[in-house]
């Protein structure tokens, strides 16, 4: 057994993952690389080559030389509407290919269709976020190898460093041409940014664009140039538009959540970062959107303009840019129709790769430039450690997303969350899973006020000034935990076996925690 810097017991060797000794989490910025990036497979081409176009998904799999035991990568910009993962896995099964490692950025409920293929051994390993049904299957021991969870920045880091070698990347392409130039911005399956797919295209041995919208050469704009793309498969539909983008993302109407949002926005206003040029990431949740709405009023009142909004981009940010309150948007994932339209038409709306967004192992990702991020949690503990992966019953139901990356990068990392969900406490003595260490979490905001990490005495002082005028109730972490205990009573302990069902990597590739299989 080893013990990580966040005090977690982790086996020295994890079957199906490897040795942990030597790559144990030692601190948010402790591990730095040396040497050189992994070199992608070199190709050559001539004007006399045959076409890159293949018949359909199955033909593309054959042309790509996919074999049993290989690692296939996918990206999740088509979200709940994605047809590509299921289509590729089913075709592999029909071709008799087994023992695949899949390396998606994220799987959702729509991908529960691959569960039979997990059970039959077509898919034997998953490295990527497993949301919902597949996560539950994993928690219950349904996969023989542990899932490896990485953040949006940790994933490209793993690829460029050689931790993960992609045999074949399958890129869902809302638009493509016969040379393999890809864009996410046009077509019936338009999803806006396809930032998560960039590194896969650059590093995979074989890159397959799967499109339902083949256009004449050259398309423009081009997100991923055809110089990285070996094959283009044309299929009837890569996704269901209804599942790809939501209509509009909406601010919460729940009074408790609105109160939390108000406190969070006041905390930001009290902070030293609330000045012209402020930058923030707020995501698409109800509370963060409400924080943005309150902030927007404060910005107008104090004549402040933001330099950029980052991350998953919503129509709310797009509107703020149109109103001149945000100057630029840096978009790794476009959440709604308005964001998709904006990225396709406004040069100030910049498509960024996951590497650019969040990779700790390049010359400086966008998260490092971030002032404020509002994040959620399933649990937070007395050390400010945050769990976003497992639910109260210990089941792995959520991926890391950009949580680790933005928390580490931003000057002010705020977890905004009601203290309880039903009878389940969100603040506990010890989180079941450490996704993000307290070292990079600055404050928790609940309906009871603001809880500042004691390490941030500057923030305490800033809030205290506000507190004098009674605008920000301050509540220490132990009082908050005590209150949660009173509200929810003592929780049943989660019963797990020793077997590791999932490994949680910190964004630098070290192991910060493991998620153990649930006992029946």
Q: Which is nearer to its own copies, 292 or 359 (CB)?
A: 359
Contact 330, 301 (CB under 8 A): no
Among 12, 13, 55, 227, binds its own copies (CB under 8 A): 227
Our finding on whether 355 is near its own copies (CB under 8 A) is yes
Choice between 370 and 500, CB closer to its own copies: 370
Distance CA 40, CA 37 (A): 9
Check residue 142 and report its DSSP letter: -
> How does DSSP classify residue 490?
P
Of 228, 113, 100, which Cα lies nearest the Cα of 176?
A: 228
Q: Which is nearer to its own copies, 362 or 496 (CB)?
A: 362
Q: In whole angstroms, how close is the CB of 34 to its own copies at the nearest point?
A: 7
**Contact call for residue 330 and its own copies (CB under 8 A):** yes
Number of Cβ within 10 Å of residue 85's Cβ equals: 25
Question: Other C-beta atoms within 10 Å of 124: how many?
Answer: 18
- Using CA atoms, how far apart are residues 509 and 507, in angstroms rounded to an integer? 5
Q: Which of these, 209, 236, 244, lies nearest to 110 by C-alpha position?
A: 244
Q: Are 169 and 197 in contact (CB under 8 A)?
A: yes
Position 368 contacts its own copies (CB under 8 A): yes
Q: Least separation, in Å, of the C-beta of 396 and its own copies?
A: 28
* Cα distance between residue 479 and residue 498, in whole Å: 33
Give the contacts of 361 (CB within 8 A, at least 6 positions apart): 33, 157, 160, 161, 508
Q: In what order do the strands lie in the sheet with 386-387?
A: 386-387, 379-381, 427-428
Q: Which positions from 33 to 72 touch its own copies by CB under 8 A, shown as an x/- string?
A: xxxxxxxxxxxxxxxxx--x--------------------
- Binding its own copies (rule: CB under 8 A), the pick from 57, 168, 172, 207 is 207
Q: Verify binding: residue 359, its own copies, rule CB under 8 A.
A: yes
In angstroms, the CA 323 to CA 161 distance is 41
The nearer residue to its own copies, 41 or 300, going by C-beta atoms, is 41
Shortest gap between Cβ of 39 and its own copies (angstroms)? Answer: 4
* Residue among 84 and 358 whose Cβ is closer to its own copies: 358
Q: Which listed residue (67, 411, 471, 485) binds its own copies by CB under 8 A? A: 411
| Residue 350 makes contact with its own copies by CB under 8 A | yes
Min separation Cβ 48 and its own copies, Å: 7
The tally of CA atoms less than 13 A away on the side-chain side of residue 69 is: 0
The residue range among 93-101, 354-362, 419-427, 448-456 that interacts with its own copies, by the rule CB under 8 A, is 354-362
409 makes contact with its own copies (CB under 8 A): yes
The number of beta carbons lying within 10 Å of the beta carbon of residue 298 is 14
Per CB under 8 A, 408 contacts its own copies:
yes
Which of 63, 222, 304, 424 forms a contact with its own copies (CB under 8 A)? 222
Stretch that binds its own copies, among 10-18, 222-230, 266-274, 487-495 (CB under 8 A): 222-230
CA distances to 120, 171, 334 from 4, in Å: 35, 36, 35
Distance CA 463, CA 280 (A): 19
- Taking the complex as a whole, the smallest distance from the CB of residue 162 to its own copies amounts, in Å, to 8
Asked if residue 117 binds its own copies (CB under 8 A), the reply is: no
Q: Which residues bind its own copies (CB under 8 A)?
A: 29, 32-49, 52, 160-161, 179-180, 207, 216-218, 220-222, 225-230, 277, 307-308, 327-328, 330, 347-348, 350, 352-353, 355-356, 359-370, 408-411, 508
């Amino acid at each position: 057994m080893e013990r990580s810097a966040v005090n977690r017991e982790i086996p020295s060797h994890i079957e199906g993952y490897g040795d942990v000794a030597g790559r144990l989490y030692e601190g948010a910025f402790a591990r730095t690389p040396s040497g050189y990036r992994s070199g992608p497979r070199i190709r050559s081409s001539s004007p006399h080559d045959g076409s890159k176009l293949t018949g359909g998904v199955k033909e593309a799999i054959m042309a790509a030389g996919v074999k049993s035991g290989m690692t296939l990568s996918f990206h999740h910009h088509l979200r709940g509407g994605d047809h590509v993962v299921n289509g590729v896995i089913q075709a592999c099964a029909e071709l008799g290919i087994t023992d695949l490692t899949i390396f998606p950025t994220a799987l959702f409920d729509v991908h529960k269709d691959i569960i039979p293929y997990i059970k039959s051994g077509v898919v034997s390993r998953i490295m990527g976020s497993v949301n919902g049904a597949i996560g539950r299957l994993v928690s219950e021991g349904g996969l023989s190898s542990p899932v490896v969870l990485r953040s949006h920045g940790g994933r490209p880091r793993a690829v460029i460093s050689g931790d993960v070698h992609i045999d074949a990347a399958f890129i869902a392409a809302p638009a493509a041409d016969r040379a393999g130039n890809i864009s996410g911005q046009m077509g019936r399956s338009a999803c806006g940014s396809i930032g998560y797919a960039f590194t896969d295209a650059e590093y995979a041995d074989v890159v397959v664009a799967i499109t339902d919208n083949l256009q004449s050469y050259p398309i423009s704009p081009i997100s991923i140039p055809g110089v990285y793309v070996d094959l283009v498969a044309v299929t009837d539909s890569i996704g269901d538009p209804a599942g790809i983008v939501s209509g509009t993302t909406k601010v919460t109407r729940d009074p408790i959540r609105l109160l939390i949002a108000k406190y969070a926005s006041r905390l930001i206003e009290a902070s030293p970062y609330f000045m012209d040029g402020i930058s923030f990431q707020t995501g698409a949740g109800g509370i963060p959107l409400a924080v943005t709405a309150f902030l927007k009023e404060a910005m107008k009142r104090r004549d402040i303009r933001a330099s950029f909004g980052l991350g998953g981009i919503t129509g709310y940010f797009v509107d703020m840019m149109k109103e001149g309150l945000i100057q630029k948007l840096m978009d790794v994932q476009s959440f709604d129709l308005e964001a998709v339209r904006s990225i396709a038409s406004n040069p100030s709306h910049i498509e960024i790769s996951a590497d650019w967004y969040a990779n700790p192992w390049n010359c400086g990702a966008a998260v490092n430039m971030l002032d404020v991020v509002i994040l959620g949690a399933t649990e937070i503990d007395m050390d400010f450690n945050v769990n976003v992966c497992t639910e109260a019953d210990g089941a792995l139901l959520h991926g890391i997303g950009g949580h680790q990356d933005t928390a580490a990068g931003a000057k002010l990392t705020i977890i905004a969350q009601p203290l309880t969900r039903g009878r389940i406490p969100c603040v506990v003595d010890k989180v079941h899973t450490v996704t993000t260490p307290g070292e990079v979490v600055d404050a928790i905001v609940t309906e009871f006020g603001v809880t500042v990490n004691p390490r941030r005495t500057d923030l305490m002082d800033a809030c205290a000034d506000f507190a004098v005028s009674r605008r920000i109730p301050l509540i220490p972490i132990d009082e908050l935990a005590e209150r949660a205990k009173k509200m929810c009573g003592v929780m049943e302990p989660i019963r797990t076996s020793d077997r590791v069902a999932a490994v949680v990597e910190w964004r630098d590739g070290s192991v910060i925690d493991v998620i153990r299989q649930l006992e029946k």
